[in-house]
């Protein structure tokens, strides 16, 4: 993998140039893109030209190559949202987050594969660790591309589990910040109460670094010795159980952090959070039916099956049912602060298990959708494997607005795992 922090430091020290980093990425792309299929649009020549800017190495992101999930508008290359409806579509302006990355010295090396409108129908991307397995989704190409060394960081988005799950499947760090920490202007909207922009990178410090610089917020955790957090392990959640391998991974992480000095406890979610979990689909489907109304009315025959199913489910939900679901979710958000009164963060699986065999599905957001609904920051921590060597990730969840503290606790867990 291309490690963002290390590369940026080497550029700052004069050991590397942005152009050299682009060529390192290009070598990896030439070796593996035909197998992985991370790109919807590969823009190597665009990146090479951008990297020649003599001022780039002095900007905070030092010319690091970025992959952009193909739901973020880009004026200089197509933005197709994973849909044939938008084949060849060229927006007039960049998405806000794309502009923020560019201003800070990031270089776009291409648009990455997404499922249609960031929902469920898979694209062409395969898992770099085993091409017979899914990379997860909807941010398929963004996670797989980081794992394969195609770029140092990438953008993703999460409406259910589309950052944390593919990060887990591909063995990289994924950060879903607090709701609306990052702008979604110019990102194709499906659910305005759920859609959350996020990032992928090699490790926790890397993903904190790129998020901090792109957003100009105090989120960096590199060079810090994180304090010993209070960590609650989520037991008996209101959803189907994880695999044996994933349960072992969580227990391995728990033992590692306890040995490193963290204070552990168990936690069970109150009923209101279980009720909210069941209502995620109501909120998502109702809002998707409105967000994608034109696509449904004008291009219904081109919509993929699960997108069509989501829209039609939303059309069957009444405004009263939607408003009732939103009220339950609001009460749940108020109640979640009580959970964090006695703990700093929650530790849980990032996904039910390792990446499933086959490419017909991107997996399930079972372990993610509640936290997306609650708007809380979540980090996938890589470094564990299942019995056949596929990556497994564990997830750290923090209170809303405590993004830096969540990243610091995640760095603590990652460091503890590396020493086991």
Question: Residue 169 and residue 172: Cα distance in Å, rounded?
Answer: 8
Ranges under pLDDT 50 in the chain: none
- The per-residue pLDDT for 225 is 78
- The per-residue pLDDT for 140 is 98
CA-nearest of 134, 111, 148, 200 to 29 is: 148
CATH of region 1-266+342-420: 3.90.1300.10
Question: Residue 284 and residue 260: Cα distance in Å, rounded?
Answer: 40
Question: Residue 350 and residue 380: Cα distance in Å, rounded?
Answer: 6
What is each CA distance from 418 to 80, 93, 260, in whole angstroms? 39, 42, 11
Token pair for residue 70?
Answer: 């193909």
55's CB contacts (< 8 A; 6+ apart) are: none
Phi first, then psi, for residue 370 (nearest 5°) are: -60, -45
Buried b (16+ CB within 10 A) or exposed e, 234-264: beebebeebbebbeebbebbbebbeebebee
Question: Residue 358 and residue 132: Cα distance in Å, rounded?
Answer: 6
| Alpha-helix runs per DSSP H in 52-134 | 96-103
CA-nearest of 370, 194, 367 to 284 is: 194
Domain boundaries, the chain: 1-266+342-420, 272-333
Does pTM top 0.95 for this prediction? yes
> Across the strands, what pairs with 91?
none
- The per-residue pLDDT for 360 is 95
CA-nearest of 34, 253, 199 to 128 is: 34
């Amino acid at each position: 993998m291309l490690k963002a922090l290390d590369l940026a430091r080497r550029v700052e020290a004069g050991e590397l140039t942005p152009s050299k980093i682009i060529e390192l990425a290009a070598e990896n792309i030439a070796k593996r893109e035909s197998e992985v299929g991370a790109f919807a649009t590969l823009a190597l020549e665009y990146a090479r030209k951008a990297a020649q800017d003599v001022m780039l190495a002095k900007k905070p992101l030092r010319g690091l190559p970025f992959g952009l999930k193909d739901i973020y508008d880009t004026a200089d290359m197509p933005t197709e949202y994973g849909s044939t409806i938008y084949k060849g579509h060229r927006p007039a302006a960049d998405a806000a987050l794309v502009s923020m990355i560019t201003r800070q010295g990031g270089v776009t090396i291409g648009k990455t594969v997404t499922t249609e409108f960031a929902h469920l129908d898979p694209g062409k991307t395969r898992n770099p660790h085993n091409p017979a397995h899914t990379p997860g989704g909807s941010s398929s190409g963004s996670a797989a591309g980081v794992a394969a060394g195609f770029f140092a960081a990438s953008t993703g988005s999460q409406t259910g589990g589309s950052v944390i799950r593919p990060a887990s499947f591909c063995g990289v760090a994924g950060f879903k910040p607090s709701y609306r920490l990052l702008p979604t202007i110019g990102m194709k909207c499906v659910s305005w109460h759920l859609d959350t922009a996020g990032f992928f990178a090699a490790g926790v410090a890397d993903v904190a670094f790129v998020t901090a610089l792109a957003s100009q917020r105090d989120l960096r955790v590199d060079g810090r010795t994180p304090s010993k957090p209070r960590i609650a392990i989520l037991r008996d959640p209101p959803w189907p159980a994880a695999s044996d391998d994933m349960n072992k991974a969580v227990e391995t992480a728990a033992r590692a952090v306890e040995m490193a000095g963290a204070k552990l406890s168990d936690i069970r979610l109150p009923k209101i959070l279980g009720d909210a979990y069941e209502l995620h689909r109501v909120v998502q489907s109702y809002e998707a039916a409105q967000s994608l109304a034109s696509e449904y009315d004008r291009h219904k025959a081109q919509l993929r099956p699960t997108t069509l199913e989501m829209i039609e489910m939303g059309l069957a939900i009444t405004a009263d049912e939607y408003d009732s679901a939103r009220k339950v979710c609001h009460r749940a958000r108020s109640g979640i602060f009580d959970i964090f009164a006695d703990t700093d963060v929650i530790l849980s699986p990032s996904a039910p298990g390792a990446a499933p065999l086959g490419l017909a599905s991107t997996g399930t957001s079972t372990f993610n959708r509640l936290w997306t609904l609650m708007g809380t920051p979540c980090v996938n921590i890589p470094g564990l494997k299942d019995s056949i060597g596929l990556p497994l990730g564990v997830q750290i969840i923090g209170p809303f607005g405590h993004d830096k503290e969540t990243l610091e606790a995640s760095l603590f867990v990652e460091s503890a795992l590396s020493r086991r």
